[in-house]
Amino acid sequence: MNLENIATEVIALSKQVGDFIRQERKKFNSDSIEYKGLNDMVSYVDKAAELQIVAALEALLPEAGFITEEKTKNQIGERYTWIIDPLDGTTNFIHGLPVFSVSIALQEYDELVLGVVYEINQDECFYAWKGAPAYLNGMEIKVTKNLKIADTLLATGFPYYDFEKQRAFVELFAELMRGCHGLRRLGSAAVDLAYTACGRFDGYYEYNLNSYDMAAGIVIVRQAGGEVVNFSGGTDLFNTREVVATNGKITEELLNTIQKYFPKQ
C-alpha cells in the first residue's frame, strides 16, 4: 500500500467534509441537538459528515473496517481499520465556538500508520503517515525543543461527565498552571494534538478520551518528532483512554507531575 497516495485522498475528503460542516454551521439550529449521554451532544451534521466519510473510505479501501464515533459502521478490519471522528469538538460547533475538526486515522493491525486532522475554521490540514514527516498545509512541521515545563505552553481537556477524578484533575491543573507559561483548553482533542505536533503547544494531556478522539493526532505528533504515552508512561492509549503528548523532552517531568495525582496503574 502506498500511504502517501492514501493520505492525499483522505486529505481531499477531509476538506470536502469540512466544507460541508462549515456551510451547515452558518444555518445550524440548536433544535436539532440530540443527547447521547450527560453533556454528550450530537447533531445531524455529525451523522451526515460521518456517512460521507465512510462511503468515500469504503470506495478507497474496500477491505478496511471502521471504528466511528456515531456508529455509522463499526467493524474491526482483518488488517486495516479506519478510526473516524467526523466532527471533533461538537460542543464548540453547537455553540458557535470556532475550534472543531475532522479526524481520520488508519490502523494496520495494531499500529496507527496514517492520520489527518482538518481544523475547519482556520482551513488548516495536519497530516502524517508512517515513514514520513508531519505536515501542515504542505509544510513540514516539528515539535518544540523546550526542555522544561517552566518554558512551555500546555493544553488539556476538561471532563464533562464521569467526575470521579475531578478533584485530582483540578489539583493537577493548579500545579501545572503555576509552573508553565499557561494552560489552554480548546475543546477538540484532535486539534490539541495537531497543535502539539506543530509547536503551538509543547504538551497536552487528557483522560476519558476515545480512540477516535486521538488516533489521527497521535500519528501526527509522533511523525513530527514528539512522544505520546498514557498517564503511566505506557503505550496503551485506547484502553486506558488517557493521553500525554509532548515534544519528547518534557515527557518525564510532565509524567512525574501527573502521577502525583493519577498514580501509575
The DSSP code sequence of 194-242 is HHHHTTS-SEEEEES--HHHHHHHHHHHHHTT-EEE-TTS-S-HHHHTE
- pLDDT, tens digit, for every residue of 56-113? 999 999 999 999 988 888 889 999 999 999 999 999 998 999 999 999 999 999 999 9
CATH class of 3-140: alpha beta
Residue 236, marked binder = no
Measured CA angle at 37 (ends 32, 38), to 5 deg = 100
Alpha carbons 201 and 215: distance in angstroms, whole number:
18
Residue 213, marked binder = yes
Alpha carbons 136 and 127: distance in angstroms, whole number:
7
Residue 255, marked binder = no
- pLDDT, tens digit, for every residue of 156-191? 998 776 778 889 999 999 999 999 999 999 999 999
Residue 87, marked binder = yes
Confidence band (pLDDT; 50, 70, 90) for 42?
A: low
Helix (H) or strand (E) holding 61: none
* Closest among 161, 168, 136, 152 to 204, alpha carbons compared: 152
- Give me the residue label for grid cell 478510526: 83
CATH class of 149-261: alpha beta
Residue 88, marked binder = yes
| Per-domain boundaries in the chain | 3-140, 149-261
